[in-house]
Amino acid sequence: MEMETEMDMPMPDELEWLEADLQHHEDYLDEDIEPPLPEEEASYIEEVYEVLQPEPIVKPSLPILEKVQPKKRFRPLSPNLLDLTNADNSVEDKRCKVDDSSAIDADDDWLRYSPPPKDESVVIVEEEEKETFISRYLTDIEGDFMPVTAPDGNRVYAKLVKEEKNEKLKKLNVKAPSKGLMLEPISVLMQRAEEDALQKALQASVSSEIDANLVGTPVVSERLWVDKYSPNSFMELLSDEHTNREVLLWLKQWDSSVFGSELKSTTDDVLSALKRHSTVSQHKKVTSRSSFGWNKDSVYNNNTFKEEKSDSHSIQEHFNKIRESGPPEQKILLLCGAPGLGKTTLAHVAARHCGYRVVEINASDDRSSSSIEDKILDVVQMNSVTGDSRPKCLVIDEIDGALGDGKGAVDVILKMVSSNKKSESGTEAEESGKKKKKKDTSLLRPVICICNDLYAPALRQLRQVAKVHVFVQPTVNRIVSRLKFICNKEGMRTSSIALTALAEYTECDIRSCLNTLQFLNGKKEILNVLDISSQVVGRKDTSKSIFDVWKEVFQKKRLKGVRKSTNISKSTFNEFDSLHSLISNCGNYDLMLDGVHENILHLNYHDPVMKKTVTCLHNLEVFDMFHQYIMRTQKMSLMVYEPAIAISIHNLVSQHEKPNIQWPKSFHRYRTTLIEKVESLHTWHNKITPSISRHISTKSFVEDLVSPLLHILSPPTLKPVALHLLTEREKNEMAQLVKTMVSYAITYRNKKIDPLLPGNKLKNEVAIDTPVLSFDPPIAEFVNFEGYSCNYFILALAVKQVLCHEIENQKILQSSINKSMHENDGKYFAGKETVKEKLIKPMEKVNILKNPSVSKPTPVNTITMVPKPSETTKKRSTAPFNFFEKFKRVSVNGSQLTQTVKKVSVTMERDSRPVLFKYNEGFTNAVKRPVRMHEFFL
Amino acid sequence: MLWVDKYRPKSLDKVLVHEDIAQNLKKLVTEQDCPHLLFYGPSGSGKKTLIMALLRQMFGAGAEKVKVENKNWKVDAGSRTIDLELTTLSSTNHVELNPSDAGFQDRYVVQEIIKEMAKNRPIDTKGKKTFKVLVLNEVDKLSREAQHSLRRTMEKYSASCRLILCCDSSSKVTEAVRSRCLNIRVNAPKEDQIVKVLEFIGKKEGLQLPPGFAARIAEKSGRSLRRAILSFETCRVKQYPFTNNQVIPPMDWEEYVCEIAADIMKEQSPKRLFQVRGKLYELLVNCIPPEVILKRLLLELLKKLDSELKHEVCHWAAYYEHRMRLGQKAIFHIEAFVAKFMSIYKGFLIATFG
């Protein structure tokens, strides 16, 4: 029983161990490199496993030894130990050898260009044996292996395993830089080249098989081609060369501030780097041989890493020499372009190329401003101490989708940029040197933002501060050659014609091309031209701007001459199809058809009897009713039929020439002004005395009332003379008019002259200082149609002013009548008032004495009086805000008015009421409070 | 005060135009309990005047003491609360409101507010009337849902509340609501009736009316009493000793429509149509209902049209007006009518003159 368990047990034990060790190593490694370990690890473990598995014969010995050892080590210690040391001695020399060979083996294995030698198993066996020896041996050289302690028990085997691990480490060490930095050591490149050659050779053999029987091609690849063949190096980028360079240059401009003083002289570094490339493989072997101890190895790691780093720096500096130093003026790079052109890829590749570690924030992350700020600050301002010490470069993907909470990202960046500018303006010279020490929120690392729509509202501010690069479509040739390469690699048979068609069809969206190809490959189909045009394959769901949609609706596509003759019906079908998809992608049918309506009459279609126009408008009508129906019944599924209306219009009116398209503003303007006017009508309606307003609806206002009202309110018979010169009849008329105006809540008020309007400008020139009085609810506006002149008699200014005051008086009178009607309620005030009245009376008499001339005013005089009345009207025009204010204001006006009234005309009625104040009884919900009379005379 | 308001009959006895209706109403109120009422008829025919006079008959002079209230209502509609602002005119015995002001939320006005008002019995129990009156204006603009919720209210609270509905056209009031009311059709007054009213006013004002002058005003008013009186007063203001050939000032918007019609007759092309569109927008912006514009435009066009085309044009005007009511964007439909007219007219011109 014991034996059996022991037989099996050590295996997982060992593995666990290895893993633990690896973890341990990883921790150290992390500092230096951050390569994707897991795969490597797994494979390594597997390797070991495999290696261990085939030796059932050897194993028994191993576990037994293992088991026995600890006992021996801790209890009896000496007797057995001697034996083992002997054994060890015998194998001692062997061990060195094996060590060496295994290292090479491992290297080879990793490079994968030669199959592992057959005798490996033997070697491993020996290794295992050694392990045991070493463990025994350990007692002597324990000091050396101190750091290694087994997880379970205190096994000392560790030593050998660790050596193995060290080799592993070396491997990682070599691989990591190649993964992390773009400029790989030449050795790696060469290895890769060889690898490639091997692959090609393999493929050649495979492809011949494929040729033999097509069906036999197994689709093994599980990764998306898009990922599989995404460019890893700068040279592989497909996007426009110029843009690539610009981006790279921009990134390089950061070097001086990011890498700063760490740089050393270029040539030396380059040379040494080049040298090192050539000797790396040797170097490795040497080190592997020499490094028995963990410590040494780690030192090596650090060294190599430093070298690597400086290596990357050297090139950057080289670049720097070309460019002048200092961070770029625009701290943010904004890449925009249609999807699938390779923006994200470019950002990543370029950043890595320049030695940055890319940190990406995209739409899938939490982008609320609070959470993102820390993140960005972390990336942009800090230098990590423990992890990968490469500076970070922030890539914010899909920034235009950042709305609402997501806008935080843009805000944070903008804040940093602006603070940066502030500090820069102060101490620019200092800045470059001391940047890292400063703790303010400025941008210290490059930030690349990526968006699809440059003109998204969220980006408005960002656009101004950022360096903008608009991606253009790469040439079809480049895409096709790349597609071809990939197809060859995947063993897919295509023709370049088909590929070209595909590329054109997807508008050079490489991602969509690849996905399509992979899809077809998965279905084991061959791409041909027909596929693309007939199948819905590789179709992109592109939404174009609304202007593009309108353009498509109004403009006939030029058909290619070849196709035209062969199948017209098909081409029209295609046109329908494409237009339909275009419109449905646009989505906002309502706006779209508004635009159609706005622009349709400007088109130059041949239409002698207006038949086409009628049909088009008919279609628009149908749309309107249709839309209304959908909205009312909420049957959104019917919306699918709406694009068809636009297409029928397209068929009727589309022309070859380019249409001049306007945004449908007239309809929107109509809507907004209508709302405005209705609102003003409503407020007016509410102001009118209820006994009258109940009889009028807002509808009939303009229809029936406004025009006659305008006539009635400005009777030509009213002479611009002082009131007392009027005959009795005229006075009556005047009183009548005032009553009408009061009951309809109409008054005159100073109109603000808007110098912006040309019409007013003219008036302004004529009379720059004379106030223009116009109706207070601007009722004249309602008949002020464009291009229509209404012939109303316009009262003289003086008359208007007189009227204005009379209206005020009338209002006050009415309210006082109201008050007297509610005398009982307002007794408190009434009592006080009478007291004050007596006080006021003499004062006013003095007033009259002072201005005797006023009592006989000539027309000229009334005009000179202009400023004062207008003053009062102005005061009235400022709307009171709360109840108490209103209360005060009105009373102030009242008292003032009584004075001005004196100047115009003194009637008996007013003489008896020198103090008038307005008391709004009952209708407000404000607080009533006792008020002293003198408060009214402030 | 304008003459329209000054000479508005205050009681049912003094009504000059629809005397028969007034007498019937009076009988109805004095002799027996009043049912729900639905007044309908074109604008300017005197519906509101009749209603006010009726209220006075019911409640005495107190009905004329009204105050305006602008109240905010909070209506609980399931998951959310809706804020509604509603202006009401109320006296002690009646409340007047315009539920269609709430737009698409009118349903809540009917369901909650009107119901609430209808439920409460009048506080003033001194009077002999045990019910209060709710006057609802522009019922035809109420949505279907609102009208449906109205009908139950009408039955349920009829003990404490009477509804007086008022609208231009009964066709938009659902059958159910109509059947619960006593329908009172208020016709547009005939021209001789208008003349009678104008002469009455003239006598009261002490004016000398030349023979046929009142008839001319009545003819121009389009059988709207309000308009007739207003233009009568306008004439008075413009020029007093009336002369027989005195110009009766037209409505400005009608003049404008006339200009549009002239434009259309002058040239028929998409470009001209575009100009017409701008002018139509002008009218629409100034709160003139599109139906009214279309109708007026048709009348103006008919004036200048050959008789053989008249029938067809009328047909199309009706056709497009119907569609306009189904739709939402009035401009599309008016414009479509103009285009159709242009097309017909141009075809006709080409056919006749080659």
d(CA A131, CA A55): 15
Phi-psi sector, A112: left (phi>0), alpha (psi -120 to 50), beta: left
Nearest CA in chain B to A733: B237
d(CA A755, CA A53): 96
The single-letter DSSP state of residue B164 is E
Tokens encoding A460: 């408005």
Q: Are residues A848 and A920 located together in one domain of the fold? A: yes
pLDDT reported for residue B223:
87
pLDDT reported for residue A593:
87
Average pLDDT over residues B199-210: 88
Question: Given CB atoms, is B240 within the 8 Å cutoff of chain A?
Answer: yes
Nearest CA in chain B to A670: B285
Nearest CA in chain A to B89: A690
- The count of other CB atoms within 10 Å of the CB of residue A909 is 9
User: CB distance B286–A785 less than 8 Å?
Assistant: yes
Question: Given CB atoms, is B282 within the 8 Å cutoff of chain A?
Answer: yes
pLDDT reported for residue A938:
61
Tokens encoding A297: 């190895």
pLDDT reported for residue A765:
43
pLDDT at residue A302 greater than cutoff 80: no
- The count of other CB atoms within 10 Å of the CB of residue A498 is 22
pLDDT reported for residue A859:
39
pLDDT digits (tens, 9 = 90+) for A396-423: 877 766 555 556 667 777 777 777 666 5
Q: Are residues A654 and A690 located together in one domain of the fold? A: no
Phi-psi sector, A524: left (phi>0), alpha (psi -120 to 50), beta: left
d(CA A377, CA A388): 17
Q: Which of A278-282, A854-858, B59-63 has the highest mean pLDDT?
A: B59-63
pLDDT at residue A583 greater than cutoff 90: no
Question: Given CB atoms, is B200 within the 8 Å cutoff of chain A?
Answer: no
Distance from the Cα of A785 to chain B's closest Cα (Å) equals: 6
Q: Residue A90: which residues within 8 A CB-CB, separation 6 or more?
A: none
pLDDT at residue A526 greater than cutoff 80: no
Evaluate whether B229 touches B4 at the Cβ level (below 8 Å). yes
Within a domain: residue A322? no
d(CA A541, CA A534): 16
pLDDT digits (tens, 9 = 90+) for A54-72: 444 444 444 444 444 444 4
Distance from the Cα of A754 to chain B's closest Cα (Å) equals: 21
pLDDT at residue A926 greater than cutoff 70: no
d(CA A755, CA A741): 29
Nearest CA in chain A to B49: A695
pLDDT reported for residue A265:
39
Q: Are residues A528 and A568 located together in one domain of the fold? A: no
Within a domain: residue A614? yes
Query: Which of B230, B286, B348 is most worth mutating to test chain A (most A CB atoms within 10 A of its CB)?
Result: B286
Which among A610, A717, A922 has CB closest to B342? Answer: A610
Q: Which residues of B touch A666 (CB under 8 A)?
A: 277-278, 281
Nearest CA in chain A to B226: A704
Q: Are residues A43 and A165 located together in one domain of the fold? A: yes
**Residue numbers of the domain that contains A712:** 669-796
Which among A614, A627, A690 has CB closest to B339? Answer: A614
Question: Given CB atoms, is B249 within the 8 Å cutoff of chain A?
Answer: yes
pLDDT digits (tens, 9 = 90+) for A158-217: 544 444 444 444 444 444 444 444 455 677 777 878 888 888 777 766 555 544 444 444
User: CB distance A601–B274 less than 8 Å?
Assistant: yes
Evaluate whether B134 touches B97 at the Cβ level (below 8 Å). yes
The single-letter DSSP state of residue A602 is T
Q: Are residues A729 and A654 located together in one domain of the fold? A: no
Q: Which residues of A touch B350 (CB under 8 A)?
A: 609
Q: Residue A115's pLDDT band (boundaries 50, 70, 90)? A: very low
Q: Are residues A43 and A157 located together in one domain of the fold? A: yes
Q: Tell me the CA distances in angstroms from A559 to A562, A566, A646, one per residue in order.
A: 8, 12, 20
Q: Which of A384-393, A695-704, B291-300 has the lowest mean pLDDT?
A: A384-393
Q: Which amino acid is at A535?
A: Q
pLDDT digits (tens, 9 = 90+) for B294-340: 999 999 999 988 888 999 999 999 999 999 988 888 999 999 999 99
Distance from the Cα of A364 to chain B's closest Cα (Å) equals: 32
Q: Are residues A493 and A508 located together in one domain of the fold? A: yes
Average pLDDT over residues B132-147: 86
Q: What is the dihedral of CA B282, B286, B287, B288, to 10 degrees?
A: -60
Query: Which of B254, B287, B326, B335 is most worth mutating to test chain A (most A CB atoms within 10 A of its CB)?
Result: B287
User: CB distance A711–B249 less than 8 Å?
Assistant: yes
| Domain end point (choices A534, A559, A583) | A534
pLDDT at residue A486 greater than cutoff 80: yes
Q: Are residues A249 and A394 located together in one domain of the fold? A: yes
Distance from the Cα of B164 to chain A's closest Cα (Å) equals: 14
Tokens encoding B7: 């000479």
Q: Which residues of B touch A743 (CB under 8 A)?
A: 1, 5
pLDDT reported for residue A170:
43
Evaluate whether B205 touches B234 at the Cβ level (below 8 Å). no
User: CB distance B5–A692 less than 8 Å?
Assistant: yes
Within chain B, what is the greatest distance between any pair of CA atoms?
81
Question: Given CB atoms, is B329 within the 8 Å cutoff of chain A?
Answer: yes
Q: Which residues of A touch B47 (CB under 8 A)?
A: none
Q: Are residues A12 and A157 located together in one domain of the fold? A: yes
Locate all alpha helices (DSSP H) within A53-157, ordered by sequence: 58-74, 78-111, 120-137
Q: Which amino acid is at A298?
A: S
Q: Which residues of A touch B4 (CB under 8 A)?
A: 695
Average pLDDT over residues A549-556: 82
Q: Tell me the CA distances in angstroms from A626 to A623, A630, A643, B326, B339, one per residue in order.
A: 5, 6, 12, 9, 20
Average pLDDT over residues A877-903: 46
Nearest CA in chain A to B282: A785
Q: Which residues of B touch A734 (CB under 8 A)?
A: none
SS3 of residue B192 by DSSP: helix
d(CA A191, CA A175): 11
Average pLDDT over residues B35-60: 88
On the 0-12 / 13-18 / 19+ scale of CB atoms within 10 A, A753 is middle
User: CB distance B252–A708 less than 8 Å?
Assistant: no
pLDDT reported for residue A179:
44
Q: Which amino acid is at A231?
A: P
For A454-486, letters b (16+ CB in 10 Å) and e give bebebbeebeebbbbbebebbebebbbebbeeb
**What are the beta bridge partners of residue A332?**
A447
Of A458, A474, A475, A477, the C-alpha closest to A466 is A458
Q: Which residues of B touch A814 (CB under 8 A)?
A: none
Q: Which of A152-166, A542-556, B34-48 has the highest mean pLDDT?
A: B34-48
pLDDT digits (tens, 9 = 90+) for A598-619: 888 888 888 888 888 899 999 9
Q: Residue A2's pLDDT band (boundaries 50, 70, 90)? A: very low
Question: Given CB atoms, is B104 within the 8 Å cutoff of chain A?
Answer: no
Within a domain: residue A321? no
Q: Tell me the CA distances in angstroms from A912 to A497, A518, A785, A816, A909, one per residue in order.
A: 104, 101, 47, 13, 5
pLDDT digits (tens, 9 = 90+) for A772-792: 777 777 777 787 777 777 777
Q: Are residues A512 and A454 located together in one domain of the fold? A: no
Within chain A, what is the greatest distance between any pair of CA atoms?
147
Q: Which residues of A touch B52 (CB under 8 A)?
A: 694-695
Within a domain: residue A673? yes
User: CB distance B231–A673 less than 8 Å?
Assistant: no
pLDDT reported for residue B40:
92
Average pLDDT over residues A900-906: 46
| Average pLDDT over all residues of chain A | 63
Q: Residue A14's pLDDT band (boundaries 50, 70, 90)? A: low
Of A853, A863, A850, the C-alpha closest to A721 is A863
Within a domain: residue A223? no
Evaluate whether B238 touches A716 at the Cβ level (below 8 Å). yes
pLDDT reported for residue A585:
77
Of B187, B241, B248, the C-alpha closest to B215 is B248
- Residue A419 CA to its chain's centroid (Å): 21
Within a domain: residue A198? no
Q: Residue A483: which residues within 8 A CB-CB, separation 6 or more?
A: A494, A499, A502, A503, A510, A513, A514, A517
- A498 or B268: which leads in pLDDT: B268
pLDDT at residue A131 greater than cutoff 50: no
Query: Which of A704, A709, A734, A784 is most worth mutating to test chain B (most B CB atoms within 10 A of its CB)?
Result: A704
SS3 of residue B68 by DSSP: strand
d(CA A522, CA A527): 12
Q: Which amino acid is at A870?
A: S
For residue B188, report the phi and psi dihedrals to the nearest 5 degrees. -70, 135
Q: Are residues A138 and A27 located together in one domain of the fold? A: yes
Share of chain A above pLDDT 90, in %: 1
- A385 or B144: which leads in pLDDT: B144
Within a domain: residue A41? yes
Q: Residue A7's pLDDT band (boundaries 50, 70, 90)? A: very low
d(CA A164, CA A757): 89
Query: Which of B68, B91, B276 is most worth mutating to test chain A (most A CB atoms within 10 A of its CB)?
Result: B68
pLDDT reported for residue A558:
65
SS3 of residue A867 by DSSP: helix
User: CB distance A790–B252 less than 8 Å?
Assistant: yes
pLDDT reported for residue A309:
45
| Average pLDDT over all residues of chain B | 86
Average pLDDT over residues B151-156: 84
pLDDT reported for residue A346:
84
Evaluate whether A715 touches A737 at the Cβ level (below 8 Å). yes
Question: Given CB atoms, is B354 within the 8 Å cutoff of chain A?
Answer: no
Q: Tell me the CA distances in angstroms from A26 to A158, A387, A719, one per residue in order.
A: 16, 11, 103
Evaluate whether A251 touches A393 at the Cβ level (below 8 Å). yes
pLDDT at residue A436 greater than cutoff 90: no
pLDDT at residue B272 greater than cutoff 50: yes
pLDDT reported for residue A103:
46
Within a domain: residue A206? no
User: CB distance A670–B285 less than 8 Å?
Assistant: yes
| Domain end point (choices A534, A561, A576) | A534
pLDDT digits (tens, 9 = 90+) for A341-364: 778 888 888 888 887 888 887 766
Q: Residue B39's pLDDT band (boundaries 50, 70, 90)? A: very high
Q: What is the CATH number of the domain that holds A519?
A: 1.10.8
Nearest CA in chain A to B274: A601
Which among B2, B274, B326 has CB closest to A625? Answer: B326
Q: For chains A and B, count residue pairs whose Cβ atoms are closer than 8 Å.
A: 203
Q: Residue A916's pLDDT band (boundaries 50, 70, 90)? A: low
Q: Residue A567's pLDDT band (boundaries 50, 70, 90)? A: low
Tell me the helix, strand and coil percentages in chain B, rounded to 5. Answer: 60, 15, 30
pLDDT reported for residue A219:
46
pLDDT reported for residue A782:
80
Q: Residue A253's pLDDT band (boundaries 50, 70, 90)? A: confident
pLDDT digits (tens, 9 = 90+) for A841-853: 444 444 444 444 4
Distance from the Cα of B171 to chain A's closest Cα (Å) equals: 19
On the 0-12 / 13-18 / 19+ scale of CB atoms within 10 A, A884 is middle
On the 0-12 / 13-18 / 19+ scale of CB atoms within 10 A, A276 is middle
Distance from the Cα of A699 to chain B's closest Cα (Å) equals: 7
User: CB distance A709–B230 less than 8 Å?
Assistant: yes
- A318 or B206: which leads in pLDDT: B206
Average pLDDT over residues B97-105: 80
pLDDT digits (tens, 9 = 90+) for A820-843: 766 544 444 444 444 444 444 444
Domain count, chain A: 6
Nearest CA in chain A to B64: A691
ipTM over 0.90: no
Q: Which of A27-41, A330-344, B291-305 has the lowest mean pLDDT?
A: A27-41
Nearest CA in chain A to B135: A694
- B98 or A105: which leads in pLDDT: B98
pLDDT at residue A493 greater than cutoff 80: no
For A222-245, letters b (16+ CB in 10 Å) and e give eeebbeebbbeebeebbbbeebbe
Q: Are residues A568 and A707 located together in one domain of the fold? A: no
pLDDT reported for residue A291:
39
pLDDT reported for residue A260:
61
Of A94, A211, A204, A207, the C-alpha closest to A160 is A94
Question: Given CB atoms, is B61 within the 8 Å cutoff of chain A?
Answer: no
User: CB distance A697–B288 less than 8 Å?
Assistant: no
Average pLDDT over residues B23-43: 86
Residues 12-31 of B with CB under 8 A from A: none
pLDDT reported for residue A363:
65
Q: What is the dihedral of CA A590, A591, A593, A594, to 10 degrees?
A: 120
Q: Which of A245-249, A606-610, A782-786, B145-149 has the lowest mean pLDDT?
A: A782-786
